[in-house]
Amino acid sequence: MGARPNFMKIAPVIDALGALDDDVVQTLVHTGQHYDEEMSQVFFRDLGLRTPDVNLGVGSGSHAAQTAAVMAACEPVLQRERPDWVVVVGDVNSTLAATVTAAKMGLKVAHVEAGLRSFDRTMPEERNRVVTDHLADLLLTPSRDADANLAREGIAAERIRFVGNVMIDTLVRLLPVAERRWPETSERLRGLGRPGGLERGEYALVTLHRPSNVDGPEALKAIMADLAFLAESMPVIFPVHPRTRARLEAMGTADVNGSVKMIEPLGYLDFLSLQANARLVVTDSGGLQEETTFLGVPCITVRENTERPITIEQGTNTLVPPSGLREALVQALSKLKPRRREATAGPSIEYWDGRAGERVAAALTGALGGS
């Protein structure tokens, strides 16, 4: 694992394998792709992840430099351990690098969250997904459409196992903790809402980090203007990804005149507490599309495409290009009502049930069969 989304996905797998007998030995390798306190260590604490057995410490860099660094650092670890399975998660550079290295060494690779496709090869994550899936020996999918994507690409059915969404496992386990944390979270953010503090179901939550949205000054400026428009109707809370903050500071618009409340990145529990109690989420994150669908929180995804169409077909997610954000906000504001988390839930999606990690463990140990 290497980046923050990986941590939520690998935690249920580690727990499920750990619940098996002592014959299952795990070595947890952190590549260090996300390495600072906000992007890594706080998530370990919130998720209850054990200290990694190995930390490669690769840090940041260009796609090529980071991928190469993970490959070079990963190879001696794999050579020493010679595991029965190399388990990779998600679609980040660490996922691709570990997969290529293991495949070249003749080691079996299992990909958790396989088969997702945006069909946009300009996205680095899409390239990572495709290469990883075609090299991996066992493809563990989160939804039925992912199975279909792999079949269309000619991947043999015996390599595919539908196990469900491991990130929802983490959400199910920790949502009660996050809900109990609301008084503490809202107190930390006192002054960001209306007079009297931040109220449940009365604010919008924003995340933005994709290059298509934040790297171009004009695109980012337009999105921030749309968020300022939204802030006229409700408090807008924006935990700012370091990448996005750097772009905003370079533009000289880091505070948007104070109308959008920009804060530092949050840990998993604080963020989940905010997300579960939001009136609306605006994001370009893949994982938040899934989490808001499960939680029943209306979500506007600012992207041209998504690798998670199930969140649109069965969920609360609306996909809009950046140029359509203002119109989508206008439509959303005409329909939104104050909400309470406990009174709203998303649709039931097959195997988004908190037990995907157990099915991953079963597949890895040969107990799942062909279901």
Q: Residues 281-338: pLDDT tens digits?
A: 999 999 999 999 999 999 999 999 999 999 999 878 999 999 999 999 999 999 887 6
What mean pLDDT, rounded, does the chain reach?
Answer: 90
- For 169-343, which CATH class? alpha beta
- CA distance linking residue 203 with residue 237, whole number of Å: 7
Kindly indicate the confidence band of residue 184, based on its pLDDT and cuts at 50, 70 and 90. confident
- CB atoms inside a 10 Å sphere around CB 308: 25
**How does 84-102 read in b/e, with b if 16+ C-beta sit within 10 Å?**
ebbbbbbbbbbbbbbbbbb
What confidence score (pLDDT) does residue 179 get? 93
What percent of the chain is modeled with pLDDT above 90? Answer: 70
Of 30, 111, 209, 241, the active-site residue reads 209
Q: Is 209 a catalytic residue?
A: yes
Q: Lowest mean pLDDT: which of 23-37, 146-160, 161-175?
A: 23-37
Please measure the distance between the N-terminal and C-terminal CA atoms of the chain and give it in whole angstroms.
27
Q: To which CATH superfamily is domain 4-165+351-364 assigned?
A: Glycogen Phosphorylase B; (3.40.50.2000)
Between residues 37 and 91, the one the model is more confident about: 91
| pTM of the predicted model as reported, rounded to 2 decimal places | 0.92
pLDDT at 369 over 50: no
Which part of the chain is CATH 3.40.50.2000? 4-165+351-364, 169-343
Tokens matching residue 12: 């249920």
Among 126-130, 261-265, 343-347, the range with the most confident prediction by mean pLDDT is 126-130
Between residues 106 and 260, the one the model is more confident about: 106
